[in-house]
Amino acid sequence: LTHALPALVDTHCHLDAPQLADDGPAAVIARAHAAGVARLVTIGTDLDTSRAAVGLAAAHAADGVWATVGVDPNDLDAWDASSPAALAELAASERVVAVGEIGLDYHWLRATPEVQRAAFLAQLDVARAAGLPVVIHSRDADQDTAAILLAWSASAPATARPLGVMHCFAGDVGLAQRYVAAGFIISLAGTVTYPRNQRAQDVARWLPRDAYVLETDAPYLAPVPHRGQRNEPAFVAETAAFVAALRGEPLDAVAADTSANAARLFGWNAA
Ligand SMILES: [Zn+2]
């Protein structure tokens, strides 16, 4: 008899990252499967990495790998009037489950807020035209990100699917409540395991069972006990165990809820 591991989803990783290249994506995916991570979503951050994400998802379709395509606010150097059409073309791939990561980053300010907002709005349009949810990156820009997303959600066609996911959510319970009420779900990353991150832990305790997913953001932000090391999708199991203890729920329940939520978000038939 084998003890079945709970099936988990890593909703946000960067399988094409150079940090994960030394042993190759097949080894990274195999370690994820061994840790109970049945599905992985590899995330684009510009047109090149979006193309790479689609390629990895196609090459590893049988391994449960899916892709998102998008240009994040720190990678807008090559963004121009032709970019939305190029993105829409990539978004049409059957392996693509969302547009992202997109959003605003006023911490690094690698592009001006005006340029960031224009690219964000253009990519929200691409997502709506493609009928896809969005993966949102927001850093030190909560007010502008919320204003844009709450307006976008208000004009969305009625759907039972989440409109998108707040990746590596760093806001407080009040902001989480506003996003959930507007039709978004919240993604908890390894940062929730950091002892001093009371704000994320409060959010993790508050979240309704149908309103959150888990992610690694690998190769970045490894959870305890791997903090400071290279992160990889297998480590989403550590975050799941931490969140289960925090919520006072069995690990199996957290795995089942977050996998079902990921399936609704990304349009999979079943987790
Ligand atoms: Zn990311």
**Calpha distance 17→64 (Å, rounded):** 18
Distance in Å, CA 221 to ligand 1 centroid? 10
Distance in Å, CA 26 to ligand 1 centroid? 20
Q: Which residues contact 13 (CB under 8 A, 6 or more apart)?
A: 40, 41, 42, 43, 215, 216, 217, 218, 232, 233
**Calpha distance 265→216 (Å, rounded):** 17
For 191, the token pair is 């940062």
CB distance 175 to 166 below 8 Å = no
Distance in Å, CA 1 to ligand 1 centroid? 38
Distance in Å, CA 72 to ligand 1 centroid? 9
* Each residue's pLDDT expressed in tens, for the chain with a length of 271 residues: 455 677 999 999 999 999 998 888 999 999 999 999 999 999 999 999 999 999 999 999 999 999 999 999 999 999 999 999 999 999 999 999 999 999 999 999 999 999 999 999 999 999 999 999 999 999 999 999 999 999 999 999 888 899 999 999 999 999 999 999 999 999 999 999 999 999 999 999 999 999 999 999 999 999 999 999 999 999 999 999 999 999 999 999 999 999 999 999 999 975 4
Distance in Å, CA 117 to ligand 1 centroid? 18
CB distance 46 to 74 below 8 Å = no
Distance in Å, CA 2 to ligand 1 centroid? 34
